[in-house]
Amino acid sequence: KGGWYPVGSITCPSSQLVSKAIFNTEDALLQGAFRVHSKQIKAQLKTRDGKTIGKWQDMKECDLEYGFQLKEFADEEVKVAERPREKSDIEKAFGNVFQKVQDAVNWVPEQ
């Protein structure tokens, strides 16, 4: 009971984007988890309001924690994925201006 259950792999361009990739593909991960671990899920998980899990969609109503481990560092601990935060009103108002400035500051010439 408890612990981490492997569901599958995910590919993304940077280790900083792993959490974003996980939450962007959350439905697929839940489907995979339910397909692979349905017996444990049905026996151990309950929704926030105490109902049992009957299908993968019910897992959206559970308090789940997602984690990841980079392939090249398999001996490291599982890192907890954090849900990407919503953009603030200021960020929305200025659009991509902050990103453009950051890209300009971090620009590296091609060799």
User: Global pTM?
Assistant: 0.69
Residue 21 vs residue 97, higher pLDDT = 21
**Whole-number pLDDT of residue 106:** 63
For residue range 37-88, list pLDDT tens digits in order.
Answer: 999 999 999 999 999 999 999 999 999 999 998 888 889 899 999 988 777 7
For every residue of the chain, which 3-state class applies, written as one string? CCCCCCCCCCCCCCHHHHHHHHHHCHHHHHHHHHHHHHHHHHHHCECCCCCECCCHHHHHHCCCCCEECCHHHCCCCCEECCCCCCCCHHHHHHCCHHHHHHHHHCCCCCC
Average pLDDT in the 11-35 region?
Answer: 88
Rounded percentage of the chain residues whose pLDDT exceeds 90: 42
Q: Is the pLDDT of residue 2 over 70?
A: no
What are the domain boundaries of the chain?
15-84
**Whole-number pLDDT of residue 4:** 84
Residue 20 vs residue 13, higher pLDDT = 20
Q: Is the pLDDT of residue 95 over 90?
A: no
**Whole-number pLDDT of residue 111:** 54
